[in-house]
Every structure is written in C-alpha cells, then in structure tokens.
Amino acid sequence: MKKLFISHSSKDRKLVEEFIEFLQLGMGVKKADIFCTAYPEMLATGRGFVEEIHKQMQECEMVLFIITEEYLQSAFCLAEMGAAWGMGKQCFPLLTVDYRRLDGTPLLGIQMRKLSSIDDMSVLYDELHKCGILDEYQTAEFNRRLSKFVESVKTSAQVLSG
C-alpha cells in the first residue's frame, strides 16, 4: 500500500517531478510509499487507469494536492479532490496559486500550504513525521535541498505568469 497519493495536473509534470525528488531526497520519503501518475510505471499497460487511481486513493494514508492553475482547470483533478474529500482522506493542499482560487472547492476553510514557502515546506516535513509517513528525520539533507526546491517553484510560477 502506498502512503502518499499525489494529485496533480499532467500539465505540471516538471513541477511534480521536482516535488517528488524533493520528497525523496530532501525529506526521505521512499519511492515505494508514493503513488503518482507522473511515474509511468504506476499505471499498468492495458489496464483501466481510472480504476487504478481510485484503488490507490482508497488505500493511501493521505493525499497531497499540487494545486496550480492547470489543476484548477482540470475536471479530472477536481474529481480527484472531491473523491479524496468524500473518502475522508487526510488532505494536504499544496498551492502555487492564491488561496482565494480555492473558493467553491471542498478545500475552502481548511489549512493550506504554499509550495513556494520555506516555512510551509518545513511544516509539511514536520507533519509527515507526525503522521508516520517519514520514519526518521534527515534535517541536514532537508535544509540543503529546501531552498533550491522553493526557488525552483518560484521561478516556475514567474515563468507561467509572465
């Protein structure tokens, strides 16, 4: 069973790959504990991908939403968000957009974090420990990779908005 389900828009593949790398190398999340369709091998050839996504979401411990403008424009992503909320999953919305963009979604009124914030990513790191997703701290490695990841998110956001 995967511990983390990462909900994202396929149009954000580069950002999602960078985030997964940060989760693994910076935070110490094992690849075996992540379900994310950015990994081509997560969806078996010739099998129904919607059913697999549904199964993985049911079995995961928490869902991380990588919420970008592209995510908010995707009916499939919004369906994943609603499904996670409906299943009562522990949800962690991670934003590259303004909080107000979530008006009218199931996430309105819950705490959210910005991918471009050192403080918010530090809180996420601590919360993943409290939830039992991470086995141990690797604070030095986390700190080495944190600034680089946050700067990359900021740069990506500037390119998209500019």
Indicate which residues carry an active-site annotation: 80
**Can you tell me whether residue 91 is helix, strand or coil?**
strand
**CB-facing half-sphere around the CA of 6: CA atoms within 13 A:** 27
Q: Which residues, at least 6 apart from 153, have a Cβ–Cβ distance to it below 8 Å? A: 15, 18, 96, 115, 116
Asked if residues 36 and 8 have their Cβ atoms less than 8 Å apart, the reply is yes
Q: Where are the beta strands (DSSP E) in the chain?
A: 4-7, 34-35, 62-67, 90-95, 113-114
**Can you tell me whether residue 134 is helix, strand or coil?**
coil
Cα–Cα dist 2/29, whole Å: 11
